[in-house]
Amino acid sequence: MTKEINTIGVLTSGGDAPGMNAAIRSVVRAALAKGMKVVGINRGYNGLISGDIHEMTSKSVSDIIQRGGTILHTARCLEFMEPQGQQRGADMCKVFGIDGLVVIGGDGSFKGAEKLANLGINTIGLPGTIDLDIACTDYTIGFDTAVNTAMEAIDKIRDTSTSHERCSIVEVMGRDAGYIALWTGIANGAEAVLLPEKENMSTEALIRMIIENRNKGKRHNLIINAEGSNLDSVKLAKKIEEVTGISTRATILGHLQRGGSPTAVDRMHASMMGAFAVDLLAEGKSNRVVAYKDGQYVDYDINEALDMKKSMSDLRYEVSRVLSI
Ligand SMILES: Nc1ncnc2c1ncn2[C@@H]1O[C@H](COP(=O)(O)OP(=O)(O)OP(=O)(O)O)[C@@H](O)[C@H]1O
Ligand SMILES: O=P(O)(O)OC[C@H]1O[C@](O)(CO)[C@@H](O)[C@@H]1O
Ligand SMILES: [Mg+2]
């Protein structure tokens, strides 16, 4: 027999991602519409452990759909990595009568959610990370905004790089995943993209490419380096300049990629996924992860979802190489 859900908890965890607010709003309003009570948990698993938990109303989520960041704040909670911390979190859910918990976060947050699920707390994961590194889903909330932000910044770097006939190394975020790099590599027309998932060009091969490009008449080179690749952007820039004599600059885009007003794509997925999560709870489903797969919103068992392995599209990588000539 499935247990009726009376109180839903919602938290955001890991790095913030544009669209998290839209997801919180959706969870809160979809749950209220079904007559459920909603509590917001501040600062991710830190707030769960300490009981930083407050009731939310329709008004608590007004005027946030367009805002970056997360009104619930977020954290990387070391204590929750340990079984004792996870048990404290599960106990606190019981103290506050939370019978369905929605965790909005990335792969790490999902591992935490899996631990809670295995401790008997009905937990639903919503993919929210700029890294797009969750295996079970084609989309994670925040990715579209982050890629667009990075693309616009790289366009600006390109203007000055072209004017000075320079080589630019631009490092983008993504932790151990190269999706932001691959997408900006194609969208910004980079000469090369360095990814953690692929065997990259060596420094020597890159230098040779730059020299050959100069001989072909190219006046500037743009190399996108994923932060998780095997090459250090600053050292690479120095080496290229030393060997080629071409003025070279490294730019690390950093946290600007995590901020800003979410795009329509992120607001749409966040709103749909939030409502989908509440539907799952209302239907009596437990311990699921919401995903966007082949154009549909679907759900997976949380343990199965975490066992899946992510693979990067060879086609996109190939196209990025073909178009870089
Ligand atoms: N193996 C794990 N077991 C329990 N909890 C975990 C585990 N891994 C991560 N967590 C919890 O989830 C939090 C967020 O994880 P992490 O820092 O990896 O970010 P994320 O959710 O992957 O988001 P992003 O990668 O976008 O920053 C961690 O600080 C920790 O509290
Ligand atoms: O904000 P922090 O803790 O420095 O984390 C940076 C990391 O978080 C992300 O922005 C999101 O996971 C990664 O791309 C990056 O490696
Ligand atoms: Mg992560």
Answer whether residue 94 shows pLDDT above 50.
Answer: yes
Pocket residues for ligand 2 (CB within 6 Å)? 15, 106, 129-131, 173-175, 227, 258
Written as one string, the DSSP assignment of 263-324 is PHHHHHHHHHHHHHHHHHHHTT--SEEEEEETTEEEEEEHHHHHH------HHHHHHHHHTT
Ligand 2, atom 11, lies closest to the CA of 15
Question: Is 263 in contact with 182 (CB distance < 8 Å)?
Answer: no
Answer whether residue 194 shows pLDDT above 70.
Answer: yes
CATH code of the domain covering residue 94: 3.40.50.450
What's the rounded Cα separation, in Å, for the pair 166 and 112? 45
Give distance in angstroms: CA of 6 to centre of ligand 3.
30
Give distance in angstroms: CA of 13 to centre of ligand 1.
7
111-168 pLDDT, tens digit each: 999 999 999 999 999 999 999 999 999 999 999 999 999 999 999 999 999 999 999 9
**15 part of a folded domain:** yes
- State residue 1's pLDDT score: 46
- State residue 219's pLDDT score: 87
What is this model's ipTM?
0.99
Counted domains in the chain: 2
Tell if the pTM clears 0.95, that is, is over it.
Answer: yes
Cα within 13 Å of Cα(155), Cβ side? 7
Neighbours of ion ligand 3 (CB under 5 A): 106-108
Same domain, yes or no, for 19 and 104? yes
**Residue 2 banded pLDDT, cuts 50, 70, 90:** low
**Which ligand neighbours the alpha carbon of 141 most closely?**
1
Same domain, yes or no, for 25 and 132? yes
287-305 pLDDT, tens digit each: 999 999 999 999 999 999 9
230-267 pLDDT, tens digit each: 999 999 999 999 999 999 999 999 999 999 999 999 99
CA dist 103 to 9, 23, 158, 192, Å? 8, 10, 38, 37
Same domain, yes or no, for 131 and 200? no
CATH code of the domain covering residue 216: 3.40.50.460
Residues designated as active site: 131
Same domain, yes or no, for 156 and 137? no
Question: Is 270 in contact with 19 (CB distance < 8 Å)?
Answer: yes
Same domain, yes or no, for 270 and 303? yes
Sheet of 288-293, strands arranged across: 53-56, 37-41, 7-12, 100-105, 123-127, 288-293, 296-301
**Which ligand neighbours the alpha carbon of 84 most closely?**
1
Ligand 2, atom 9, lies closest to the CA of 15
Chain mean position to CA 129: 2
